[in-house]
A = this chain, B = another copy of it.
Amino acid sequence: MIDVSKFNKIRANDLFWLSTEMLYIIGLGLGDERDITLKGLDAVKKCEKVYIEAYTSLLSFGLSTDGLSTLEKLYGKPIILADREVVEEKVDNILSEARGSDVAFLVVGDPFGATTHTDLVVRAKTMRVDVKVVHNASVMNAIGICGLQLYRYGETVSIPFFTETWRPDSFYEKIERNRNLGLHTLCLLDIRVKEPTLESLCRSVSDVAADTNCVGFARLGSEDQMIVAGTMKQLRTVNFGEPLHCLVIVGKTHPVEDEMLEFYKITTENPEQKGNGIV
């Protein structure tokens, strides 16, 4: 038997490993500033520089300039907004900083959730910068709240960015395949979609699933999250409010799944009785 635990010991003897400098990639969770873990907050507090990725799911976090100052107050230090340009072009600068001091890179959700930061880790490891990951909830597991079992989901579908002249439809096939296997499908909208609303999402997939049971989510994990179950046709009549939105196409259900979905179901006859449900 190879005892891989000894690798830790070898690394502990390595001077480089003993240096405390580290790139912390920290998941913030889905709701607000208090969704960070104690471990994540401990790490942020010991870091000299704190970056926050601002180009993917920041929207869901409700992070305006106000949101940022809420975070800064909690952390007791300034936060640098890292937009797509910073992350893609100046990442080596961030990583160089992480060689001489602890640096935090904050990510909405989990660092390896719907949007992964694998690239960042690969570049860090290549530059011999050590990385520590602090996990948190992401849309990939928080959707479990609607009652559909996570292990009964097929491949996740990313609805691409449609242009005037380019309307890719390869995702239809994946949705169909999952449905044929009785599996649920999580549909996420490409972050480049200007209106990442459930309405435009439904528009994109209604060809394959107009009468199919679906669950619509808005601001998942936030205090004002909205979860509504119904046919896609019904969901298209619902105003889900602010982004981010995502959609689950329901596969074959188990009785317990049905019971739970019932709490979220909207009926046209009696819309007041149902809807939002659990926070």
In the complex the two chains form, is A278's CB within 8 Å of B131's CB? yes
- A155–B183 contact, CB under 8 A? yes
Q: How far is the CA of A116 from the CA of B144 in the complex (A)?
A: 8
Note all chain B residues with C-beta closer than 8 A to A138: 137, 141
Contact code string A252-275 (vs B, CB < 8 Å = 1, else 0):
000011011001001000011011
The answer for the CA separation of A259 and B11 in the assembled complex, in Å, is 21
In the complex, what residue of chain B is closest to A251 when comparing beta carbons? B155
Distance of A172 from chain B, by nearest CB (Å): 15
Q: State whether A272 and B35 are in contact (beta carbons under 8 Å apart), knowing that A1-B238, A112-B144 are contacts in the complex.
A: no
Is B141's CB under 8 angstroms from A118's CB? no
Select which of B2, B32, B42 is within 8 A of A237 by beta carbon.
B2
User: Judging by beta carbons under 8 Å apart, are B37 and A35 in contact?
Assistant: yes
Cβ contacts under 8 Å, A239 to chain B? 1-5
Q: Tell me, in angstroms, the Cα distance from A3 to B226 when the chains sit together.
A: 11
A-B contact pairs, 5 of them (CB 8 A): A4-B238, A5-B224, A8-B276, A116-B147, A153-B156
